[in-house]
């Protein structure tokens, strides 16, 4: 069964890359498929490798920190952009974090929500076929705009596959807290609290040193 999983993953990867790639990518495609089949991993410590009995088979994914890992992941996920674009939705992706967004007037909000829900349903189906999963518990939905426009929107829940996600006023994106009015007030407040906490910690440490040592 493990060999079948390996073969299926390698075949899926090879098929996807060769389908959309130019001739320059084809060689990389078939070379990459070889790297995804019949793989094992060992632990190296102090110049010694784990014994043969501790060798583990790698049936999916790539080892964290591997050289080919980021490239293989980008190639494996590249088809997702085409899928999202067919729904008229924009996609921004950084590693495994994805943001789907679209612009709409207030009068067409309901249609935009339906379009987004349909897009997410197709994305979820594509991820399932790709042995990946859309985590609804980590999914956030936000309206972005001025206070006057946001006050006119009464939709507070959006259907995401089988779950209904409550619209959030803030969300963290790559370490930055985005608020629905794009004021950055929540992010500034969070940075302020973090800095104040670190200063308090430094104050406790500073009491253990003499003034001369601190000046150095």
- C-alpha to C-alpha distance for 85 and 53, rounded to whole angstroms: 48
The pair phi, psi for residue 164, each rounded to 5°, is -110, 120
Do 203 and 197 contact (CB within 8 A), yes or no? no
- C-alpha to C-alpha distance for 13 and 35, rounded to whole angstroms: 11
User: Which candidate, 29, 138, 150, 24, places its Cα nearest to that of 78?
Assistant: 29
Do 42 and 101 contact (CB within 8 A), yes or no? no
The H-or-E segment that residue 41 falls in is strand 39-41
pTM: 0.68
CA distances from 10 to 59, 145, 176, 207 (A): 10, 44, 36, 60
Q: What is the mean pLDDT of the chain?
A: 77
CA distances from 146 to 103, 153, 169, 179 (A): 13, 11, 13, 11
Longest dimension (CA), the chain: 68
User: Which candidate, 70, 19, 75, 69, places its Cα nearest to that of 39?
Assistant: 69
The pair phi, psi for residue 160, each rounded to 5°, is -120, 105
Model confidence at 188: pLDDT above 90: yes
pLDDT of residue 24: 46
pLDDT band at 27; cut points 50, 70, 90: very low
Long-range residue pairs from 169-173, CB within 8 A, at least 24 positions apart, any chain: 169/142, 170/142, 171/140, 171/142, 173/97, 173/99
Task: Name which residue leads in pLDDT, 24 or 39.
Answer: 39
Rounded mean pLDDT, 1-19? 45
Model confidence at 87: pLDDT above 80: yes
Rounded mean pLDDT, 46-71? 74
String of DSSP letters for 156-208: -EEEETTEEEEEESEEEETTEEEETT---HHHHHHHHHHHHHHHHHHHHHHTT
The pair phi, psi for residue 136, each rounded to 5°, is -65, -30
Q: Which two tokens stand for residue 171?
A: 């969300």
């Amino acid at each position: 069964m493990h060999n079948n999983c390996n073969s299926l993953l390698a075949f899926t990867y090879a098929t996807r890359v060769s389908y959309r790639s130019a001739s320059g990518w084809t060689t990389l495609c078939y070379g990459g498929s070889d790297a995804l089949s019949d793989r094992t991993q060992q632990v190296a410590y102090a110049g010694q490798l784990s014994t043969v009995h501790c060798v583990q088979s790698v049936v999916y994914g790539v080892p964290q920190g591997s050289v080919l890992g980021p490239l293989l992941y980008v190639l494996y996920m590249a088809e997702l952009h085409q899928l999202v674009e067919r729904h008229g939705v924009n996609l921004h992706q950084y590693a495994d974090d994805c943001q789907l967004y679209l612009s709409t007037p207030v009068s067409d909000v309901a249609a935009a929500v339906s379009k987004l829900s349909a897009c997410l349903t197709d994305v979820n189906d594509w991820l399932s076929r790709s042995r990946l999963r859309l985590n609804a518990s980590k999914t956030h939905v936000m309206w972005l705009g001025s206070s006057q426009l946001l006050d006119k929107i009464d939709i507070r829940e959006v259907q995401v596959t089988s779950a209904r996600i409550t619209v959030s006023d803030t969300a963290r994106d790559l370490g930055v807290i985005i608020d629905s009015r794009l004021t950055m007030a929540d992010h500034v407040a969070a940075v302020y609290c973090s800095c104040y906490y670190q200063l308090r910690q430094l104050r406790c440490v500073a009491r253990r040193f003499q003034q001369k040592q601190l000046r150095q």
